[in-house]
């Protein structure tokens, strides 16, 4: 595990990257990608910082892992029901939380 400050710096850098990608998607007229990148940037803010803190402090072990599993399950369920848009959004959420978990473990690579 890394320090909370280092974790936040990694999340901030990734959120900035997501905002840049959102801007490029908007400029190219890809509203769907624009929306997804903004969602991911938002998640990398307070939400994942707070969950990382409680995990680091031992208040809620496996908080991020549980969230990855939950979003992955939601994606599967939505895909089975034929709602591919919702399935993709849930999958993007799982990917974003997995990034945060990897960052917390000192394994994030960008």
What tens digit of pLDDT does each residue of 3-29 get? 999 999 999 999 999 999 999 999 999
Q: What is the mean pLDDT of residues 61-65?
A: 93
Please give the Cα distance from 92 to 84 (Å, whole number). 12
Residue 65 has pLDDT above 90, yes or no: yes
DSSP assignment string, 43-88: HTTHHHHHHHHHHHTTSSTTHHHHHHHHHHHHHHHHHHTT-HHHHH
* CA 108 – CA 96 distance, rounded (Å): 11
Q: How confident is the model at residue 110 (pLDDT cuts 50, 70, 90)?
A: low
How many whole angstroms separate alpha carbon 47 and alpha carbon 45?
Answer: 6
Mean pLDDT of 76-86: 96
């Amino acid at each position: 595990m890394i320090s909370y400050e280092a974790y936040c710096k990694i999340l901030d850098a990734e959120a900035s990257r997501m905002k840049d990608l959102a801007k490029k998607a908007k400029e190219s007229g890809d509203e769907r990608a624009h929306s997804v990148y903004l969602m991911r940037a938002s998640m990398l803010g307070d939400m994942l910082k707070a969950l990382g803190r409680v995990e680091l402090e031992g208040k809620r072990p496996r908080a991020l892992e549980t969230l990855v599993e939950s979003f992955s399950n939601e994606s599967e369920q939505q895909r089975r029901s034929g709602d591919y848009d919702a399935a993709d959004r849930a999958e993007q959420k799982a990917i974003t939380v997995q990034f945060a978990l990897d960052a917390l473990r000192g394994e994030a690579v960008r």
